[in-house]
Amino acid sequence: MKIVVDLLGSDRGAETIFRGVVETSKLLKDLSFVVVGPKSVIEKIEIDEDLEGRLEIIDTEEYILNTEEPTFAVRRKKDSSIVLAMKYLDKENADGLISFGSTGAVLVSGLLIVKRMENVERAALTITLPTNKDKMILLDIGANIECTSDILKQFAIMGNIYAKETLNKENPKIALLNIGSEDGKGTKILKETYSILENENINFVGNIESRDIFDGNIDVLVCDGFHGNILLKTIEGSVKFIMSNMKKSLMSSLSAKIGALLIKSPMRKLKKSLDYKEYGACPMLGLKKVVFKGHGSSDEKAVVSGIISMCDYINKDINSKIEKQIEKGEN
């Protein structure tokens, strides 16, 4: 198996991502890497002879910033790491690509260079979230601001397969994000989508309100990219707000201060478990090739876990399964 790794554009720089690659190479001995980034940084890091034979370097220092308008930047910055990486994935014999850089740039270059699967109307950005029971897959989290009911239907189908394969659920429970759990709630598009999903060959369990998503009673949460993005960023904001207020509360008395010291270690673990950025990388579903996006703040360990998730996805041939299922639906 050969994968392409975009080293640039993450918060911690190319060195961290490359160190993650080096660590992964020790765990997965038959994996080859094409790393795209500055040779000068890569060559500073010592690597085993073993990895040398499995490593290809595409030298570039250019990359797309988070603050750049992605469509414009992808078209203009021909030598940016993500564009070179995507072109390699598209033309050469690679099995997948992972980037920790600008989400917009990964999305746009994926759509423009690798392109969507036949019959897939829109590609979706996914994320895996913790719940009180198992993990849950949320899609779309921002690729498609406005979606028709047909697009949402495809998200449900793609999410179903992805959840089946990676969450080990035989019949994943699929729900639609809405403002009430009853049938007939929400926008016109959501009402339409509800009736469509009821007749699909998936385990559609109906609407769910965002207050209930953490209960762990669903496996896949389907919504358009606007709602998914609002949801995700509200969770992020809430966690930050609660944690900062907790700090203040625990400074309110001497006994609370002592208590705070005693709970420091489990609280740190809790904070980590609530941070979805820690959940490695997630695929962009619906593209012709496997494209994973890891969080920009990923450290070495997160890079390793991201690459491993991608290899698992590739091994399970999830993209082909999605392609077949979508094709079936369209015929």
Using left for φ > 0, alpha for ψ between -120 and 50, and beta otherwise, residue 186 falls in left
Q: Which is nearer to a second copy, 187 or 320 (CB)?
A: 187
Candidate list 47, 57, 230, 308; residue touching a second copy; CB under 8 A? 230
Q: Which stretch binds a second copy (CB under 8 A): 76-84, 91-99, 243-251, 291-299?
A: 243-251
Examine residue 235 and tell whether it contacts a second copy (CB under 8 A): yes
Examine residue 133 and tell whether it contacts a second copy (CB under 8 A): no
- The least distance separating a second copy from the CB of residue 156, rounded to whole angstroms, comes to 18
- The least distance separating a second copy from the CB of residue 232, rounded to whole angstroms, comes to 8
The DSSP symbol for 141 reads: S
Examine residue 267 and tell whether it contacts a second copy (CB under 8 A): yes
- The least distance separating a second copy from the CB of residue 35, rounded to whole angstroms, comes to 30
Using left for φ > 0, alpha for ψ between -120 and 50, and beta otherwise, residue 157 falls in alpha
CA-closest candidate to residue 310, choices 329, 294, 327, 321: 294
Candidate list 68, 212, 278, 299; residue touching a second copy; CB under 8 A? 212
Beta-carbon count within 10 A of 327 CB: 13
Rounded Cα distance between 213 and 209, Å, is: 7
Tokens representing 10?
């993450």
Whether 288 and 278 have beta carbons less than 8 Å apart is answered as: no
Beta-carbon count within 10 A of 195 CB: 11
Rounded Cα distance between 6 and 36, Å, is: 5
Rounded Cα distance between 47 and 256, Å, is: 49
> Which run of H or E residues covers position 208?
strand 203-208
DSSP codes of every residue in 237-288: HHHHHHHHHHHHHTTSSHHHHHHHHHTHHHHHHHHHHH-GGGS-EEEEETBS
Q: Which is nearer to a second copy, 233 or 324 (CB)?
A: 233
- The least distance separating a second copy from the CB of residue 40, rounded to whole angstroms, comes to 33
Rounded Cα distance between 255 and 267, Å, is: 17
Candidate list 46, 168, 261, 331; residue touching a second copy; CB under 8 A? 261
Q: Which is nearer to a second copy, 183 or 330 (CB)?
A: 183
Q: Which stretch binds a second copy (CB under 8 A): 26-34, 39-47, 153-161, 241-249?
A: 241-249
Candidate list 171, 187, 315, 320; residue touching a second copy; CB under 8 A? 187
Examine residue 209 and tell whether it contacts a second copy (CB under 8 A): yes
The residues pairing with 283 across neighbouring beta strands, listed in sequence order, are 292
Examine residue 210 and tell whether it contacts a second copy (CB under 8 A): yes
Q: Which stretch binds a second copy (CB under 8 A): 1-9, 29-37, 53-61, 180-188?
A: 180-188
Q: Which stretch binds a second copy (CB under 8 A): 113-121, 263-271, 299-307, 322-330?
A: 263-271
Examine residue 11 and tell whether it contacts a second copy (CB under 8 A): no
Examine residue 65 and tell whether it contacts a second copy (CB under 8 A): no
Contacts for 99 with CB less than 8 Å, ≥ 6 apart:
5, 6, 9, 81, 82, 85, 105, 106, 291, 292, 293, 294
Candidate list 72, 259, 317, 330; residue touching a second copy; CB under 8 A? 259
Examine residue 149 and tell whether it contacts a second copy (CB under 8 A): no
Residues in touch with a second copy (CB under 8 A):
131-132, 142, 145-146, 177, 179, 186-188, 209-214, 225-227, 229-231, 233-242, 244-246, 249-250, 252-253, 255-256, 258-263, 265-267, 269-270, 273-274
